[in-house]
Amino acid sequence: MGDKKYLWLSHILSKSTPSYGGSESVIIESKTSIDEGDTANTLSICTNTHLGTHIDMPKHFFEDGPSITDYHEKYWIFNYPQLINIPCEDGKLITPIDIKSEISIDTGLLLLRTGFEKYRKEKRYWETNPGLSPDLGIYLREKYPNIRAVGIDTISITSILHRESGRAAHRVLLDPHAPGKPIVIIEDMALSKISTKFNQVLVLPLRIRNIDGAPVTIMGVY
């Protein structure tokens, strides 16, 4: 391990994990229990593919879009992550004008810290969240061809107050038919504790065939 330090950038998945619009929850049930005389403890977990810190793949909005298992192992190792602070109020749509920090041309993973994570235990987090504008998606795909993923500390890049704009932003980023490569989306990230520049970020989604998205474990290395 040497002098490397690590930081979780994904939230723990639990029964209290918030959902977009507050409509769903993670269900965790006991199947066998040592306390009840069984040999071992086992649990059943039922979850939407878009609960907790999770990744949106092109297949989420495009039937013929690639899924998690279509990507090479090295795709999920980001050696040039970049964090940009964009403080946001309720319902704000982030546009190219809000990107005041210069994005490095080498950036592979762009992390957008809105500060909205502080409301994660409140209804405000999933009822009035900020999101991304379609224009930002177009800007990133046209200007920064090395960006492979965008992560954000809100429950979705779709603000529930601007659903059509959010859906359009998803399509722009994930479109496998547009020029360049799709930019996958990581939502509900834990970015509040980042205080220094990362050397590397590891993004590890559940590898399930033909899936449109999945919970993801993310670790920053510095």
Proportion of the chain above pLDDT 70, given as a percent: 99
Instruction: Give the chain's end-to-end CA distance (angstroms, integer).
Output: 11
What pLDDT digit, counting tens, does each position of 9-36 carry?
999 999 999 999 888 899 999 999 999 9
Residues in the chain: 222
Angle between helices 163-174 and 134-143 (to 10 degrees): 20
Q: Where are the domains of the chain?
A: 6-11+49-221
Global pTM value = 0.96
At residue 137, does pLDDT exceed 80?
yes
Give the integer Cα–Cα distance in Å for 51 and 156. Answer: 10
Question: What is the average pLDDT value for the chain, to the nearest integer?
Answer: 96
Nearest to 188 by CA among 162, 151, 147: 151
What pLDDT digit, counting tens, does each position of 52-85 carry?
999 999 999 999 999 999 999 999 999 999 999 9
Q: Kind and range of the H or E element at 187?
A: strand 184-187
Cβ count near 106 (within 10 Å): 11
Residue 208 CA to chain centroid, in angstroms? 17
Q: Which CATH superfamily is domain 6-11+49-221 in?
A: Putative cyclase (3.50.30.50)
Give the model's pLDDT for residue 3. Answer: 84
Residues facing residue 139 across a β-bridge = none
At residue 1, does pLDDT exceed 80?
no
Q: Which residue has the tokens 């040497």?
A: 2
Do residues 187 and 125 touch, judged by C-beta distance below 8 A?
Answer: no
Give the integer Cα–Cα distance in Å for 107 and 160. Answer: 29
| Interval 49-53 mean pLDDT | 96
